[in-house]
Structures are given as C-alpha cells and as structure tokens.
Chain A
C-alpha cells in the first residue's frame, strides 16, 4: 500500500499533473465565487474536452482538484452578498452574511477557509481509512445489492429536492427513461430510436448535463444584468477567524464526520451536508442564541462539512462505480472515458490512482485555501464583473463542447432541447439533479435488475443485505417526510 501511496503522490506531483491540478483549483475556485455557474455546470462544460485526454493522472488532477475546492471559494459570495456560490454553501449564509453586516466579513471568510481546509483534509483521511474495508465490502455485494443502491441514489436525490419530492422523483424517472434510449446493451435491440440511427448510441450524458445545468444558469446570469452583485465591506478579524477554527475544533471534527458520512451515502450531496451540519451545531452547541445572527460556529459547521463531504463522496464512486452526487457522476463519466475502472481494481491494480485521488483532495484543498487566504481582497472584487464579459464566452464553450464530442449537428439540436427543458425545470421549481443522476444510473439500474432476476429469480429479494438496504431505503424516504423535512435541505438549485 505504501508503494501505491508513493506512486500516487509522485504521479500528482509531476509538473504536468501539478499544472493541471492548479488549473482545476483555479477553475473550481473561480466557479465557486461566481454565483449561478455551479460546480456541475462547469464539470459538464469541461467533460467533452477532458475526455480527449489520455493520462488518467492528469484527469484526476484536473477534475478532482476542481471538484474538491468548489465549496471553499463559494463562501465569498455566501458571506459577502448572501448568495451561495455553490449549493454546498447555502447554510453558510445564515451566520456568514450577518457577520459581514456586523463588520466581521474578514473573520467569517478566514474561518470558512480554514474550516474548509481542515474539513477537506478530514474527507481525504476518511477515504484513505476506508481502503482496507472497501474490498471486502465490494465483494460482499452482488447485482441485487447494487440495484438497490442505484435505486437509493436516485430516490434520495429525488426526495431531498427542495420542497418538491414528487417532482424530484418524477425528474429521476425521466432521467432513467432518457437512459433507456438507444440500442439495448444486452441484446442490441433498438429502444425509442424511431428508426433514427442518431439515437442508437443513446443520449449523450454530456449533452444532457450541458443543457440541463449549463445554459439555464447562464440565462439566469444574463437575466440579472449589471454586475453579479454588490459586495459588502471586507471588514475585520482575519486572524481571529483562523483562531476560531482551532478554538472550536471539536465542532469542526463532528461536522466533518457528518459531511464525510453524507458524502458516502448515495444520493445526498453537499447541499444536504451543510444543512445537516448546521442543524447539528445549533442542536448541540451551548449558547446557541447567537446562531443566525452572526455566530462564527455556524460558518465553521457549514464549511467544514461541505468540504469533508467530497472525500466521502469518492468512496462509493471509486469502490462501486456508483456516484454519490451529480458532480461525482460527471467525474465518473470522465474517469471511465480515460480507462479508470471503478470497482475492486481501484484497490488493487489501480490503487495508485485511488491514492492519486486522495492526494489530489489533500493538495487541492491546501492550494485553494492558500489562494483564498492570500488573494481574498482581489478575489472579492470579481463579484463586480459585468455579466456581458462572462456570459458570451461560456455560451460559446458550451456549444463548442457539445459539438466537439461527435461533430454531429443533431448534438446541437439535442443540446437546445435539453437547455429548454433545463430552463423550464429551473423556472418552475423542478429539481434537475435527479434527472442527471437518473441518466447516469439508469442503465446500471436496468443491468443490475436484469442480472438479479436472471441469476436469482425472485429469490434476490430475500437476500439479507438486500432486505437491510431496502429497509434503509424506505427509512431514508420516510424520514424527511415524517419530520416535515425539518432542515429543508434543498437541491432545487443544484
């Protein structure tokens, strides 16, 4: 294992890999503090270009680097202008923005950066610590268990979609239906192809992701006109924020554990992690009367958890090939395209790549925090960029990305159709994350159901692990409904 760990480290420290990681961190940070352009949108835009790369290490450095730090820089807008830069920093607003109003923006920012760093490092540690148990865990699962896991993933994202669980479930089902278009992978039989050969290969996930996330966000950004937002004063207490994190280390550790656990569970995303962690802080901390009025502990809880979540998120992604959320679903698509094979191989022949992911999580978090800490003031000014300087290049990149994959004019038509769908879904409060996850997991779900039935008949339903997972699945669905979704985790904007 030590050898693989060293190989992974030297791999990501190669000048080229390091360069790609820096690029990923920069893009991830930039995306983080540009509200409206979320992590999934950017990953979707990057996907067609990344899939042409050959070296898996470079892809890991770029995408994992980018994915790991999106929640670090997103604290800028959450704290300064009360607009979450990413879906994972929504709870940061509750105390971060009041702190900024109280003239303590600097303290809130530095606390959020250090909490993000320590949370991110904790997530990487969790991923590392899980390695010895992952292999037996993966081998104890078969197609029936994998089927329930895919079902769980889509259901959870659907159920936890803002205030619209029914809409969430329907969006997930639509995603699964989209995944069935094309030639059936088992037999080659045509499905929903209407005798048009374009559909044989199925609907490209890149087009779905670009249309559903990319264009609607850009339209929203353009619709605001003017600058992204007006910033609050930078304020005081920069060093105090760093001290706060170490002073509240026990809270930071607990909320990091929550983040990593939420990441590990299929279907839950960073937008849930920060709310769970914030709720935990409010429920368990003493002197809670200041929460919501500018308590630094609210910022620490939220920011520590959303970065710790990333490490946990990669556990099911690497071990089972089942992504925990939209971002890892897109990262997984790129991984497979460049020959990285999730599953037991990640713990044996490709263990060095698993370590490359872990090291990237570590180094990217350090880099992102360093960038945010050192350049906090100039970065804050980016919030003033006018929309007309940002929107046109992004639109161009989206269309080039959609066309470059196959050079097929139908791809552009498909992009526009999915953009329209994404636009209306966003406008009418239909969550989009379940749809994309449905497309990603749809064919896996069908495959595992087919294998479960042909291998075990109906006996697969009586397998002990299947029963346990079904109970967990039902409990996960029932819990938020019964409790009236007390904490209101929202994926609607994801």
Chain B
C-alpha cells in the first residue's frame, strides 16, 4: 500500500474515530445523562416569550439533572408552533434526549384543528412550565383615534397565526365593544411583531413582557389599552381588565364560555414536554430537575428580568389537567368561535375532538 493511501486512511480514521475512542475509554457506570447531549427544541423563532422561557430553562436544567448533560437549543418556528409540534410528535425518538419548549399556541392550534395538525398535546409528557402575568394590549398612539371609529381605516392587529390567547380579546372587543379592527397574521414571532408595531406596519399587539411594554410607552410608540387577566396586574395597577372594559356589555352564556375557552387558563403559557413514550424514569428525572431549577435564585432573578414580577413555575400535573380541560370544550363553544373567526377573516380549521 502506498504511503499516500496510508496517510489518507490514518488521517481519516483519526478524524472520525477519536471522539468515539475517547468516549469508550472513559465509559463507566454513570447516570443516564452523563456525557449525553439533550436536543432542546423551541417551538418558536428566537426572541419571543417561548424562546426566552426555553433558553432560561435550557440554561439551568443541566445543572440539576444527574450527569449534567450538554444542551443544544434549536428554534423551530412556524405555524404558531404547528411545525415544531408536528415534528416532535412524529419524528422524535422518545429516548429522553429530545425535549421541546411549547406554548399555549400549540394547544390552541390543535383545538382549532385542520389538516395541518398532526399531533395531540394530550399525549405529550409534561415536564413543567412557567406562567407569566396576562398579556397587555398595546395600541400605537397614532391609531387611537380610529380604534372605536368604524368609519375610519381599521386599526391593524398583528399576530403569528391569529390563534394566540389574547386575540380572543380583540375579537370579542370588535364584537361587543365596537372596536374597529382588521387582523393580519404570518409574522414569525414576537420579535418581528415588536418591530412591526414600531414601524407602524401594525397598530395593535399584545405582550406579557413588562419591560417591553414600558420601553414602547417611554419611546412614545404605544399606550396600554387593557390587560387580559380577570384582575389588574400588580405592576400595571392603572390598566383595566378586559372584563372591566366590557362592563355591562359583557356577554353571557355560550358567548362567554367560548371566550374563556379561547383565552385559556392563565396556567397554560409556556411549558416543557418530552415525546409520547418517553420512559417514566426519565420523565421523572426531567421533572425533578425542572422543579429544582425553578427554585434556583438566579432563575428567579433572570425570570423577573425577562417576564416582569408575577411569573411563576407551574407543576407538570397542573398543566396536563389544564390542557385536557382546554381541549374538552363543548362543541357549541367551538362552533361559536369558528363563526366569529370566519366573520373577522381569521384562519379556520376543522375542530378536533
């Protein structure tokens, strides 16, 4: 064999096998996650609430997981979490090495249904979640005069997929308070929406991020209209709740049941999941690590910085129950939502049961 061929083979073997050989030589009786890498999918683009929550968890999870694995974060935006959820449910091995930061949009899209939904959130293994204070609806200062004037150009509401929880508030506002709105959707995430409201491409948007809300107000871009919570936010005591704003116009019966079904429970915000079929002992390890991580003072500090005061960790069992309740809304309420969505030009799917 010539010297050239020998050199080539030697260099190739060294490149390919050196990590494997090192790992094999170092292998001992070790915790499952030792020396392993977890793929951490975030069901959104970088920069929004789901991403921020995901990156916060990804930073602290390995510290409390026996074996201190490495974590690779991968954003998978699109379709309000549909792309990531479809991929996660159908492509990911349930080996405890791939987990996903999901959000309420993934559940809402499932409820809306349609041919694009190829997952079932009820089958996911919940690890834990975080819930932030309710969204604050913001309107550009230069659009306020048109907000309730149906004769003027409609105020433009921007969203990723037209299904987020706070969109319910705008639809019910248009229906019962005469808000003059038009919806456009397709923005990849909160970062793009934030830019769009600054640019004036959209006039109305909601976020839970207190810092961002204050920044936009300070810059003279927006004012706060309302908060979606049923009680006033501690950090924004002067901002009325949506129920206060509805006052005597608050609908009752099926219409309100439908609103609550769309707006969802406050505990259903950002949550971490493992795929269906993940072994119970691995799910338990992940849940324990998540719970311990959430008690870390540094997580608390970082969470306050990004989400504002009032965010809280939610136990896996609680989120599982909320998801089940959210999906089990009556058919009449679903039909009511569908009718309103059709009326206001929002995307409509086929309801899942």
Alpha-carbon distance A355/B76, docked complex (angstroms): 28
User: Taking the nearest CB of chain B, how far is it from the CB of A204, in angstroms?
Assistant: 11
Which B36-79 residues sit within 8 Å CB-CB of chain A?
37, 45-47, 51, 55, 59, 70-79
Q: Are B184 and A341 in contact (CB under 8 A)?
A: no
User: Taking the nearest CB of chain A, how far is it from the CB of B60, in angstroms?
Assistant: 12
Residues of chain B within 8 A of A189, CB atoms compared: 115-116
Per-position 1/0 for A180-206, Cβ under 8 A of B: 001111111110000001101100000
Alpha-carbon distance A113/B306, docked complex (angstroms): 45
Q: Are A447 and B188 in contact (CB under 8 A)?
A: yes
Q: Are B72 and A52 in contact (CB under 8 A)?
A: yes
Q: Are A185 and B199 in contact (CB under 8 A)?
A: no
Q: Are B16 and A396 in contact (CB under 8 A)?
A: yes
Nearest opposing residue in chain B for A396, CB measure:
B15
Asked if A345 lies at the interface with its beta carbon under 8 angstroms from chain B, I say yes
Q: Are A339 and B188 in contact (CB under 8 A)?
A: no
Which A309-327 residues sit within 8 Å CB-CB of chain B?
none
* Stretch binding the partner chain, chosen from B80-88, B141-149, B251-259: B80-88
Q: Are B47 and A341 in contact (CB under 8 A)?
A: yes
Asked if B21 lies at the interface with its beta carbon under 8 angstroms from chain A, I say no
Interface size on A, residues (CB 8 A): 46
Residues of chain B within 8 A of A396, CB atoms compared: 12, 15-16
User: Taking the nearest CB of chain B, how far is it from the CB of A207, in angstroms?
Assistant: 15
* Stretch binding the partner chain, chosen from B1-9, B320-328, B334-342: B1-9
- Given A54-B73, A455-B156, are A185 and B12 neighbors across the interface (CB < 8 Å)? no
- Given A183-B79, A185-B77, are A139 and B191 neighbors across the interface (CB < 8 Å)? no
- Given A139-B198, A185-B188, A186-B79, are A200 and B87 neighbors across the interface (CB < 8 Å)? yes
Residues of chain B within 8 A of A338, CB atoms compared: 73
Asked if A177 lies at the interface with its beta carbon under 8 angstroms from chain B, I say no
- Given A336-B75, A391-B8, A392-B12, are A188 and B195 neighbors across the interface (CB < 8 Å)? no
Residues of chain A within 8 A of B347, CB atoms compared: 187
Asked if A128 lies at the interface with its beta carbon under 8 angstroms from chain B, I say no
Residues of chain B within 8 A of A395, CB atoms compared: 12
Residues of chain A within 8 A of B79, CB atoms compared: 183-188
Q: Are B186 and A341 in contact (CB under 8 A)?
A: no
Asked if B91 lies at the interface with its beta carbon under 8 angstroms from chain A, I say yes
Per-position 1/0 for A336-364, Cβ under 8 A of B: 11111101110000000000000000000
Which A369-399 residues sit within 8 Å CB-CB of chain B?
386, 388-389, 391-393, 395-397
Residues of chain A within 8 A of B46, CB atoms compared: 336, 339-341
The 8 Å CB contact of B201, one of A337, A343, A388, A451, is A451
Q: Are B186 and A447 in contact (CB under 8 A)?
A: yes
Q: Are B82 and A183 in contact (CB under 8 A)?
A: yes
Per-position 1/0 for B82-108, Cβ under 8 A of A: 110011001100000000000000000
Question: What would 10 more interface pairs be, CB under 8 Å, given A183-B86, A185-B188?
Answer: A54-B59, A143-B196, A183-B116, A198-B91, A201-B76, A343-B191, A388-B8, A451-B184, A451-B186, A451-B187
Name 20 interchain pairs, CB-CB below 8 A, sorted by A: A54-B73, A139-B195, A142-B196, A183-B82, A184-B79, A188-B80, A198-B91, A201-B76, A336-B45, A336-B46, A339-B47, A339-B51, A343-B191, A344-B198, A345-B47, A392-B8, A392-B11, A451-B187, A454-B184, A455-B202
Q: Which A residues fall within an 8 A CB radius of B? A: 51-52, 54, 138-143, 182-190, 197-198, 200-201, 336-341, 343-345, 386, 388-389, 391-393, 395-397, 400, 447, 450-451, 454-455
